[in-house]
Amino acid sequence: MTADAAGIDGLNVLSAAEAANALLDCCASPEWAATLVALRPFLDRAALFDAADAAVARLPEAEIDLALAGHPRIGERADSAASAREQAGVATAEDEVKAALAAGNRAYEARFGHIYLVCASGRSGAELLELLTARLDNDPETERRVMRTELAKINRIRLGRLLG
Protein backbone atom coordinates (compact mmCIF):
# COMPACT_ATOMS: atom_id res chain seq x y z
CA MET A 1 0.00 0.00 0.00
CA THR A 2 1.39 3.41 -0.85
CA ALA A 3 1.42 6.46 1.37
CA ASP A 4 -1.27 8.15 -0.72
CA ALA A 5 -3.57 5.13 -0.28
CA ALA A 6 -3.08 4.96 3.50
CA GLY A 7 -5.80 4.47 6.04
CA ILE A 8 -8.78 2.20 6.19
CA ASP A 9 -10.31 3.81 3.11
CA GLY A 10 -7.11 3.16 1.19
CA LEU A 11 -7.15 -0.50 2.15
CA ASN A 12 -10.80 -0.78 1.22
CA VAL A 13 -10.29 0.55 -2.32
CA LEU A 14 -7.25 -1.52 -3.25
CA SER A 15 -7.80 -4.31 -5.73
CA ALA A 16 -8.08 -7.74 -4.14
CA ALA A 17 -4.55 -8.63 -5.27
CA GLU A 18 -3.07 -5.36 -3.97
CA ALA A 19 -4.86 -5.72 -0.65
CA ALA A 20 -3.75 -9.35 -0.29
CA ASN A 21 -0.12 -8.38 -0.96
CA ALA A 22 -0.30 -5.56 1.59
CA LEU A 23 -1.85 -7.87 4.18
CA LEU A 24 0.71 -10.59 3.54
CA ASP A 25 3.35 -8.09 4.65
CA CYS A 26 1.55 -8.10 8.02
CA CYS A 27 1.01 -11.86 8.30
CA ALA A 28 2.40 -14.55 5.99
CA SER A 29 -0.76 -16.68 6.07
CA PRO A 30 -2.49 -16.54 2.67
CA GLU A 31 -5.75 -17.71 4.24
CA TRP A 32 -5.63 -14.89 6.81
CA ALA A 33 -5.02 -12.31 4.09
CA ALA A 34 -7.74 -13.76 1.85
CA THR A 35 -10.23 -13.73 4.71
CA LEU A 36 -9.60 -10.04 5.37
CA VAL A 37 -9.76 -9.16 1.70
CA ALA A 38 -13.14 -10.90 1.43
CA LEU A 39 -14.48 -9.05 4.48
CA ARG A 40 -13.80 -5.58 3.07
CA PRO A 41 -14.93 -2.84 3.29
CA PHE A 42 -14.09 -2.20 6.91
CA LEU A 43 -15.84 0.67 8.67
CA ASP A 44 -12.83 1.56 10.79
CA ARG A 45 -9.55 0.31 12.24
CA ALA A 46 -11.29 -1.41 15.13
CA ALA A 47 -13.40 -3.47 12.73
CA LEU A 48 -10.28 -4.50 10.80
CA PHE A 49 -8.41 -5.41 13.99
CA ASP A 50 -11.34 -7.45 15.29
CA ALA A 51 -11.65 -9.28 11.97
CA ALA A 52 -7.89 -9.93 11.93
CA ASP A 53 -7.99 -11.39 15.44
CA ALA A 54 -10.95 -13.61 14.56
CA ALA A 55 -9.21 -14.78 11.39
CA VAL A 56 -6.10 -15.81 13.38
CA ALA A 57 -8.29 -17.68 15.87
CA ARG A 58 -9.87 -19.71 13.06
CA LEU A 59 -6.73 -20.52 11.08
CA PRO A 60 -5.94 -24.20 10.67
CA GLU A 61 -2.59 -25.31 12.04
CA ALA A 62 -1.00 -25.48 8.57
CA GLU A 63 -1.78 -21.79 8.06
CA ILE A 64 -0.40 -20.93 11.48
CA ASP A 65 2.80 -22.65 10.40
CA LEU A 66 2.88 -20.46 7.27
CA ALA A 67 2.37 -17.38 9.43
CA LEU A 68 5.24 -18.46 11.69
CA ALA A 69 7.49 -18.90 8.67
CA GLY A 70 7.15 -15.15 8.11
CA HIS A 71 8.97 -14.37 11.38
CA PRO A 72 12.66 -14.69 12.23
CA ARG A 73 13.77 -16.25 15.50
CA ILE A 74 13.96 -13.81 18.37
CA GLY A 75 17.52 -12.52 18.47
CA GLU A 76 18.44 -13.54 14.93
CA ARG A 77 19.02 -11.16 12.09
CA ALA A 78 15.69 -9.62 11.11
CA ASP A 79 14.51 -10.43 7.59
CA SER A 80 12.34 -7.31 7.24
CA ALA A 81 12.16 -3.74 8.45
CA ALA A 82 9.11 -4.67 10.54
CA SER A 83 10.97 -7.48 12.30
CA ALA A 84 13.99 -5.26 12.89
CA ARG A 85 11.77 -2.58 14.49
CA GLU A 86 9.93 -5.15 16.58
CA GLN A 87 13.12 -6.77 17.88
CA ALA A 88 15.06 -3.55 18.45
CA GLY A 89 15.36 -4.35 22.15
CA VAL A 90 17.38 -7.47 21.38
CA ALA A 91 19.95 -5.55 19.35
CA THR A 92 21.18 -3.74 22.45
CA ALA A 93 21.11 -6.79 24.73
CA GLU A 94 24.21 -8.10 26.46
CA ASP A 95 26.05 -10.93 24.70
CA GLU A 96 25.04 -13.32 27.50
CA VAL A 97 21.35 -12.54 26.90
CA LYS A 98 21.75 -13.05 23.16
CA ALA A 99 23.46 -16.40 23.75
CA ALA A 100 20.74 -17.44 26.20
CA LEU A 101 18.06 -16.45 23.67
CA ALA A 102 19.74 -18.59 21.02
CA ALA A 103 19.89 -21.57 23.39
CA GLY A 104 16.31 -20.91 24.50
CA ASN A 105 15.12 -20.77 20.90
CA ARG A 106 16.67 -24.19 20.28
CA ALA A 107 15.07 -25.65 23.41
CA TYR A 108 11.70 -24.12 22.54
CA GLU A 109 11.76 -25.47 18.99
CA ALA A 110 12.75 -28.92 20.22
CA ARG A 111 9.86 -28.88 22.71
CA PHE A 112 7.10 -27.35 20.58
CA GLY A 113 8.18 -27.93 16.96
CA HIS A 114 7.96 -24.27 15.90
CA ILE A 115 9.71 -20.97 16.52
CA TYR A 116 9.20 -18.97 19.68
CA LEU A 117 6.85 -16.19 18.62
CA VAL A 118 6.31 -13.25 20.91
CA CYS A 119 5.23 -9.66 20.38
CA ALA A 120 8.69 -8.18 20.92
CA SER A 121 7.83 -4.52 20.36
CA GLY A 122 9.02 -2.36 23.22
CA ARG A 123 10.60 -5.28 25.10
CA SER A 124 14.23 -5.73 26.01
CA GLY A 125 16.25 -8.83 25.24
CA ALA A 126 16.16 -9.74 28.93
CA GLU A 127 12.34 -9.47 29.00
CA LEU A 128 12.03 -11.65 25.91
CA LEU A 129 14.35 -14.22 27.45
CA GLU A 130 12.29 -14.23 30.66
CA LEU A 131 9.09 -14.80 28.66
CA LEU A 132 10.73 -17.57 26.64
CA THR A 133 11.93 -19.32 29.79
CA ALA A 134 8.47 -19.13 31.35
CA ARG A 135 6.74 -20.39 28.21
CA LEU A 136 8.96 -23.46 28.08
CA ASP A 137 6.91 -24.72 31.04
CA ASN A 138 3.65 -24.59 29.04
CA ASP A 139 2.08 -27.76 27.71
CA PRO A 140 1.89 -27.84 23.88
CA GLU A 141 -1.83 -26.97 23.73
CA THR A 142 -1.45 -23.98 26.04
CA GLU A 143 1.61 -22.80 24.17
CA ARG A 144 -0.20 -22.99 20.83
CA ARG A 145 -2.93 -20.72 22.26
CA VAL A 146 -0.35 -18.29 23.65
CA MET A 147 1.48 -18.23 20.32
CA ARG A 148 -1.77 -17.43 18.44
CA THR A 149 -2.42 -14.56 20.84
CA GLU A 150 1.09 -13.22 20.25
CA LEU A 151 0.60 -13.54 16.48
CA ALA A 152 -2.61 -11.50 16.72
CA LYS A 153 -0.77 -8.78 18.69
CA ILE A 154 1.98 -8.60 16.05
CA ASN A 155 -0.61 -8.48 13.28
CA ARG A 156 -2.37 -5.54 14.96
CA ILE A 157 0.90 -3.60 15.18
CA ARG A 158 1.70 -4.30 11.55
CA LEU A 159 -1.84 -3.49 10.41
CA GLY A 160 -1.63 -0.20 12.29
CA ARG A 161 1.60 0.62 10.50
CA LEU A 162 0.03 -0.40 7.16
CA LEU A 163 -2.85 1.98 7.72
CA GLY A 164 -0.52 4.81 8.72
pLDDT at 4: 42
Q: Are 6 and 164 in contact (CB under 8 A)?
A: yes
Instruction: Give the model's confidence band at 89: pLDDT under 50 very low, under 70 low, under 90 confident, else very high.
Output: confident
Instruction: Report the greatest alpha carbon distance in the chain.
Output: 48
Q: What are 20-33's pLDDT values in tens digits?
A: 999 999 999 999 99
The yes-or-no verdict on residue 41 having pLDDT over 80 is yes
Q: Are 118 and 108 in contact (CB under 8 A)?
A: no
Nearest CA-CA partner of 70 in 136, 114, 18, 19: 114
pTM: 0.91
**What residue ranges define each of the domains in the chain, with the CATH number in brackets?**
3-163 (1.10.3330.10)
CA–CA distance, 99 with 111 (Å, rounded to integer): 18
pLDDT at 79: 67
pLDDT at 3: 37
SS3 label, residue 151 = helix
